Amino acid sequence: MRKADESLSRKRSRLLKILDRLARSIPDPATELDFHTPFELLVATVLSAQTTDKTVNRVTPRLFTRYPTPSALSQADLPELEEILRPTGFFRRKALHAKALAEAIESRFQGAVPPRMEDLLTLPGVGRKTASVVLYHAFGQPAIFVDTHVGRVSRRLGLTESSDPEGVESDLARLIPKEGWGIAASRLLLHGRTVCLARAPRCEACTLPPLCPAWPGQPPLQNDPEGLD
Ligand code: SF4
């Protein structure tokens, strides 16, 4: 069976089994970014571009001790802020973005991160992925965040053929019940970070064969008792 030929209901059924296995291998798919408030998570997510969550976690305690609120961060001394953000790379641009973001939250949303996608997308430096991370992890709302890992894993698993994050998001949204969006995206992301790696997927350590069409030992899906039927 070609991936494109798989019906929506069979794909949903296969995805449920995939998510069930991922739930066992990744029981607690919390974000790896440390945060206490929606503001901290929003800033940390913006800072995580082009670097690792661990690096961001190294700078945010100092950052949020020095600038604990949008008001404080909006008035930050730029050279001092740059120095704090230096380990994250692209620190000059990130310092400008962080200040602009804090100013917008302070001036347009009374200092509180807005809990709505439409509002979050109006903030400087905030795209759909960042907004979805904040909606799910900070506000507990259903949201699917598509980063490079979620996109790659979803394509390998035959859940989408789209290379565009919004296309991946919309394909996943059709397959996953809304209440499960955030936790499913979290598990796909962590699976991509730890097992289904970009250059050399660790299929030998993966719990998903034979549900994965990209698994090298994949027999035809329709003959797989653990797969579609
Ligand atoms: S079997 Fe391999 S390609 Fe498929 S999800 Fe697992 S690691 Fe990725």
Question: For 80-117, how does the pLDDT look when each residue is reduced to its tens digit (9 = 90+)?
Answer: 999 999 999 999 999 999 999 999 999 999 999 999 99
Residues with CB under 6 A from ligand 1: 156-157, 195-196, 201-203, 206, 208-209, 212, 214-215
Burial (CB < 10 A; 0-12, 13-18, 19+), residue 145, is buried
Give catalytic residues, as residue numbers: 129, 147
In CATH, what number does 38-137 get? Answer: 1.10.340.30
Residue 32 identity: E
Enumerate the domain spans of the chain.
3-30+145-223, 38-137
Q: Which two tokens stand for residue 182?
A: 């955030």
In ligand 1, the atom with minimum distance to the C-alpha of 207 is 6
Between the CA of 214 and the centroid of ligand 1 the distance, in Å, is 6
The runs of H, that is alpha helices, within 34-121 are: 38-47, 53-66, 70-74, 78-85, 91-108, 117-120
- pTM, full prediction: 0.89
Between the CA of 140 and the centroid of ligand 1 the distance, in Å, is 29
CATH class for the domain made up of 3-30+145-223: mainly alpha
User: For the segment 177-222, what is each residue's pLDDT rounded down to a tens digit?
Assistant: 999 999 999 999 999 999 999 999 999 999 999 899 999 887 654 4
pLDDT reading at 228 higher than 60: no
CA distance 114 to 212: 38
